[in-house]
Each structure stands twice: as structure tokens, then as C-alpha cells.
Amino acid sequence: MSVEDKTKKIKLVVLDVDGVLTDGQIVTGSQGELCKHFDVKDGLGIKMLLAAGIDVVVITGRRSAIVGARLRELGVRDVFQGQSYKKGAFLDLIQARHLDASECACMGDDIPDLPVLQLVGLSCAPADAVDTVLKSVDFVSSRAGGRGAVREMAEKILMSQGVWDDLIDRFYFHPDAPRFR
């Protein structure tokens, strides 16, 4: 099945954080984590997926108050932090939502993401993912993690499902429409 065909079936997008939504750098001080860098373009891509009725979920191995705050701001309801066994969290999630793995996309960048990437209908990676991941996914973004990779994936899904132009028109060219930002 082609990548285009796979994108048409997507109802849920699963994202990793470090190296996908961020550039992978973790800035810490004596009190712990100080900051992470998120790309606003990725944030808008997430909001557009949600507006199109495609749910977005985060499954990450680390715990971070910064991550929770940013994803709440974007409207992401389910953020599973501290998940060293991501496959288990994913299987529980799709069972609870009555979804088939083929209806899900995932973007990951490193070895801990592989078990989920191998199950989903559309596996994706940022351009700077580790080689093992790059060789095993359906779609590799032309952008690095934390630099618009999620946005590129979101646009690909939304365009293939035929809703991209409607989203742009509905949210940016009608004066009374709600705005993403």
C-alpha cells in the first residue's frame, strides 16, 4: 500500500517528544529541566489535525511539566509521560478508542519508538532520526525534529484526506471564524 493510501486512513496521530516535537536538546540546571524548544509550525500542524477531527496523542519516555503545559496549550488531551514501554501504552490506547493500528500514524526518532512505529498504518520520522528508524518508516520528513517535521507530516495527512484547503479557507479567510493561534 502506498504512503498516500495509508495517509487517507489516519484517525489518530501518535507523537514522541524529544527529537520529534523538540530538537532533542534538554536544557537542565541545578533544579532540573529548564526548557525545551518547540516549533510553532508543528503546533499549528497539531491544531489543524485536531480541527480536522484527527486526534493527536503523545507517548513519551520522559516526564516534563514543560511538555504537559505546551500540549495542553495546543489542545492535546492525552499525554502519556514516563512510558518506557511505549508499545503497551499504544495498544491500551487503541483498544480503549476502538481503533485499528492501521488507522494510526506515529512519528518517532529513536529506538524506543520502533515498537509503535512497526505497528501503525503510517510510520514517520524526522530527517534527523537515527538510521535504524529512518530505514524502517514509510515517510521521512525533509525537516528535522523540532523544526517542522510534525507540521510536514500533518500537511501530508490533511492534504491526502482532502481537507487541507477547507481548513485554510475556513480558519483564515472568513472574518468570524475561530483562529488556531
Residues flagged as binding site for substrate: 18
Residue 62 grid cell: 520522559
The CA distance from 74 to 144, in Å, is: 20
The CA distance from 6 to 100, in Å, is: 13
Which residues make up each annotated binding site? 16, 18, 109
Strand partners, 13: 56, 105
Which residues make up each annotated binding site for Mg(2+)? 16, 109
The CA distance from 106 to 57, in Å, is: 9
Under 8 Å between Cβ of 180 and 51: yes
Type and span of the H or E element at 122: strand 122-125
CA angle 12, 70, 59 (to 5 degrees): 40
